[in-house]
Chains A and B, each alone.
Chain A
Amino acid sequence: MGSYRRIDCIFFSEFHPTLGPKITYQVPEEYISRELFDTVQVYIITKPELQNKLITVTAMEKKLIGCPVCIEHKKYSRNALLFNLGLVCDARTKTCALEPIVKKLSGYLTTLELESGFISNEESKQKLLPILSTLLEELNVTGACTLPIDDSNTIHLKLIEQRKDPLVVQEYDVPVFTKNKDHFIKSQWDLTTQQILPFVDGYRHIQKISAEADVELNLVRIAVQNLLYYEVVTLVSIFQYSNVYCTTPKVQNLIDKKCLQEECIHYVSKLGQRTNLRDVFQLYCGLTPGTTVRDLCSRYSHQLQRVDERKLIQFGLMKGLIRRLQKYPVKVVRDERSRPPRLYTGCHSYDEICCKTGMSYKELDERLENDPNIVVCWK
């Protein structure tokens, strides 16, 4: 729970039949000044058009998030009950994660009112004050809150952190765990994920995992995408000795950051051995366009005595120290009669083509090398 999501105040506002819009309860007391409420009340107790909408307004260095509710019934004076339970934060706070909470709370209160007149009854309405207090404290401290309201109603709330959408997972992508697999309680995960877990080793690509774990391809993709979303895995490319890589500017991080050095040495060293920074850095710098991993192995055999080259590549990709150069065939010359190229357009890499067609790299190479109409771009 970062302080950037701190809730400064929770308030309950309603339309009083004689006094008009007012704040009935707020925790902490007197947090919302008269002036602030005057400025924003039109967004709190709103016209009918804006009801049940999540409204966030920024004013006087504060952000107020609320969801106005209107329940119409003859029994209410003015034939309608208007209220809004909202949160107040600092204007710079990112409040997206709080919105579902506000919506849920408004839903709960609506239900309570419809079932038992919780709000219109003056006596039960007073229970709101301790409820607001508890909410404020628990949401700020733990990010979750469970409150029994009365015999039949309990409120469950949880702040869910918003993450960015994960990338689309392709069949030729290879998932690799960013943290140690054993750190997780696997029984908490869904069945599909549990089934594919043993095959997620940082070397098997999605298609292979699907075949070996006997799980349908799309399900594997979705499961891995889920793991990606929670940043438990990251994606790298298929490893082959014929692959070509090159360094990125980030490779200098290995020189600058001591902790990265340690992590790297630990990760890439062969079992029971320990390599050193110079060897590792030389190996990464030995990866250049035109150099395959096989070439690297023969040129730097001394350095590779203590280094597992597969782990070296894996670590380099995970940390962005190196990047893979993929081959893209492009059909540049074709006569009018032949069909337009489907895969040789420059949009599909060898990895993708081989995965889709079942050809091996060698086969694809042989096929294309002899075709004068095709050029190959590496990028």
Chain B
Amino acid sequence: MLKKTSPISVILVSSGSRGNKLLFRYPFQRVSENTSSATCKCSLNGCRQNFHLFCDHCTLFLSLFLSLKRFSDIILATILATKSDMCGKKFELKIDNVRFVGHPTLLQPPHTIQVSKTDPSPKRELPTMILFSVVFALRANADASVINCMHNLSRRIAIALQHEERRCQYLTREAKLMLAVQDEVTTMTETDGTPQSPFRQILPKCKLARDLKEAYDSLCTTGVVRLHINNWLEVSFCLPHKIHRVGGKHIPPEALERSLKAIRPYHALLLLDNEKALLAQLPLDCSPALVRLIKTCSAVKNLQQLAQDADLALLQVFQIAAHLVYWGKAIIIYPLCENNVYMLSPHANICIYSPLAEQFGLQFPGHDLPSMLAKFSLPVSLSEFRNPLDAPVHEAQLIQMVVWMLQRRLLFQLHTYVCLLVPPVEEEPGLREEEPPLVTRVTGRSLSTPSALSFGSPTSSDDMTLTSPSMDNSSAELQTGGDSPLNKRMTETLLASLTEHERQAILRVPAAQNPEDLRLFARLLHYFRGHHHLEEIMYNENMRRSQLKTLFDKFRSVLVITNHEDPIISLFQSPPD
């Protein structure tokens, strides 16, 4: 998608004994050449129109390209090949509506070229390169995070080139080739009179030029760059802004990172490609843990289970999962099970003419996407969606459809959140006691350390059975004996964090007369601030859904319940505001 995230051009400059040189730039300057074969640089829906027949996106691109075209090679060389004291740092220059970003890098001249000063014999002075820079030209108002990403890519390519230069003078050789072709074409132009682009001639002769072209093309289309500098060093990079696009907006990398940090062991990893395709994309020397994980993961398995099945530490699974999500190969969901409730995402494209509708029709012949999506207009659980009277084959296909829709972010899952809100003091409606902050109410264990949790793995039918109660303040202690003084005191302590008014209101509930119920309620109190959904409570406390629902029902006069998406993973379904 050609928007603010695509670069306008990639430029390679150098500075050395021959002065400042522009070695290569892509796309080429001379647009007028061969307009019939010049295809549109817009990648929207495979747009392949000619340059002079613009679609709207191309008009924008062309205007930016033309503003860059006004910069001659020489002036670009002057402004982009900086002084050596700007090397090793981010280079940023804005000229009117074009922004240049790069990472100028110093080269150490190889020792073999040192010429002795005392030697009187005339020696041919070998041209040496002192520094170089791979510069990306962007729209001036590109996002700061996009600029940083481009700088990152420039730096990575520079590191690879610097390494190869030290090892075998790769960059000097390529530069020599490029300059030689440029000189050749200039001479030819002078004799022939026909303008030609030297850069077009450089491409077939220089691997580095082809690499830069490939980087540019990838950035404009998929956002995933994989180069092999000198057929040896791999440089890989992804532009999250291109990969993570939902509803026409990109998800900023910072928001992505925040969400990834908040993933829990009960979440699941949903691959966006099929397993085979994904494995084929991995480099040969990738980590075996990654391969194992991809082969073992499934939409019904949570991360904890995945860790066990793939024989990896949970922390490692988290890291690999985050990596896959960052590269746009997977998203985080709650594992598929019967009780999951799904609804149509407000950002879903339900147009009958959308490419998604077409793909759906091909993948599931006989069904059409809008009809399927209409079924999710009201929240529907997976068990409701599947008709138990249908043949099992049909059932499996329905699950596949749900997975397909989740992968394309057409659906999101609704969770139940509970909030403690007691009826107000009737006599003085304006007066409300200050409620102590939540942090004083959380007793003991922190809720966010994955390694502390080691419950049995939940089965796909969402029935969490109690296995090992390994928590210090878990229900195990509180369940022994009925009304022991110890239990009573614990209940009291837990309720002590509430205001007097709240305590009274809770105790007035008929169910509070039952010490078991009251104990359970008190124990779960810290979840009732609307930030922990039902499934999280189930997982942390090793309880069944039915148990919790019964409890909520008993105490409904002091609780308010609502359903909405999980804000932590809803990032993957909808763009942030």
Contact = CB atoms under 8 A, between A and B. Distances in A.
A54 B94 contact: yes
A255 B419 contact: yes
Given A49-B72, A285-B562, A346-B350, A56 B343 contact: no
B352 A331 contact: yes
Given A278-B423, A347-B351, A49 B93 contact: no
Contacts of B429: 274, 276
Interface in B88-145: 90-96, 141
Contacts of A346: 349-352, 354, 370
Contact of B353 (A49, A59, A277, A345): A345
A35 B348 contact: no
A159 B60 CA distance: 28
A284 B96 CA distance: 49
A57 interface: yes
A347 B351 CA distance: 5
Nearest to B370: A330
B424 A276 contact: yes
Contacts of B94: 54-57
Contact of A247 (B83, B350, B531, B562): B562
A246 interface: yes
A53 B95 contact: yes
B564 A278 contact: no
A155 interface: no
Given A58-B92, A281-B421, A377 B79 contact: no
B370 A38 contact: no
A281 B561 CA distance: 10
Contact of B352 (A249, A276, A345): A345
Contacts of A375: 370-371, 374
Contacts of A134: none
Contact of B79 (A50, A255, A276, A278): A50
A172 interface: no
B417 interface: yes
Interface in A280-316: 281-282, 284-285, 288-290
B577 interface: yes
A242 to B, nearest CB: 15
Given A56-B93, A285-B562, A332-B371, A376 B377 contact: yes
Interface in A313-331: 320, 323, 328, 330-331
Interface string B284-307: 000000000000000000000000
A57 B89 CA distance: 13
B85 A376 contact: no
A277 B346 contact: no
Interface string A260-283: 000000000000001011100110
Chain A, interface residues (CB within 8 Å), range: 35 or more
Nearest to A99: B94
Given A38-B83, A379-B350, A252 B530 contact: yes
A303 B94 CA distance: 58
Contacts, number: 136
B551 interface: no
A248 to B, nearest CB: 6
Contacts of B530: 251-252, 255-256
A54 B91 CA distance: 17
Contact of B93 (A58, A249, A320): A58
Interface stretch (A39-47, A74-82, A174-182, A212-220): A39-47
A352 B209 CA distance: 51
A289 B378 CA distance: 6
A277 B374 CA distance: 35
Contacts of A57: 92-94
Contacts of A248: 564-565
Contacts of A230: none
Contacts of A246: 563-564
Contact of A251 (B82, B353, B564, B570): B564
B534 interface: no
B86 A53 contact: no
Contacts of A47: 75, 78
Given A320-B577, A346-B352, A379 B378 contact: no
A6 to B, nearest CB: 18
A4 interface: no
B71 A377 contact: no
A304 B509 CA distance: 24
Contact of B377 (A249, A252, A281, A378): A378
B93 to A, nearest CB: 5
The A interface is mostly helix, strand or loop, or mixed, namely: mixed
A321 to B, nearest CB: 10
Nearest to A252: B530
B537 to A, nearest CB: 15
B560 A278 contact: yes
A341 interface: yes
B419 A281 contact: yes
A282 B344 CA distance: 24
Interface string B164-192: 00000000000000000000000000000
Interface in A42-72: 42-43, 47, 49-50, 53-59
B195 interface: no
Given A50-B79, A58-B90, A278-B424, A378 B350 contact: no
A332 B370 contact: yes
Contacts of A256: 529-530
Contacts of B401: none
B548 interface: no
A276 B560 CA distance: 14
A331 B424 CA distance: 50
B436 to A, nearest CB: 13
Nearest to B348: A379
A290 B378 contact: yes
B16 interface: no
Contacts of A332: 352, 368, 370-371
Contacts of A249: 564-567, 570
A322 to B, nearest CB: 10
B365 interface: no
A168 B412 CA distance: 27
Interface in B345-373: 345-346, 348-354, 368, 370-371, 373
Contacts of B352: 330-332, 341, 345-346
B430 interface: yes
A131 to B, nearest CB: 26
Given A35-B85, A50-B95, A328 B560 contact: no
B379 interface: yes
Among A39, A290, A377, the most chain B Cβ lie within 10 Å of the Cβ of A377
Given A247-B562, A289-B379, A49 B421 contact: no
Contacts of B368: 332
A56 B346 CA distance: 41
Contacts of A330: 350, 352, 370, 374
Contact of A54 (B95, B379, B417): B95
Interface string B497-541: 000000000000000000000000000000001110000000000
Contacts of B343: 289
Nearest to A378: B377
Given A332-B352, A345-B353, A347-B351, A376 B374 contact: yes
Contacts of A38: 83
A203 to B, nearest CB: 23
28 contacts: A35-B85, A39-B83, A47-B75, A49-B70, A49-B71, A49-B72, A50-B95, A53-B95, A53-B96, A54-B94, A55-B94, A59-B86, A246-B563, A249-B570, A252-B417, A252-B529, A277-B421, A277-B424, A281-B421, A281-B560, A285-B560, A289-B377, A289-B379, A290-B378, A375-B374, A377-B373, A378-B377, A379-B344
**3 closest A-B pairs by CB:** A378-B377, A249-B567, A285-B562
Given A58-B91, A274-B429, 14 more contacts: A50-B75, A249-B564, A249-B565, A252-B417, A277-B421, A278-B423, A281-B419, A284-B562, A328-B350, A330-B352, A331-B352, A346-B349, A346-B351, A346-B370
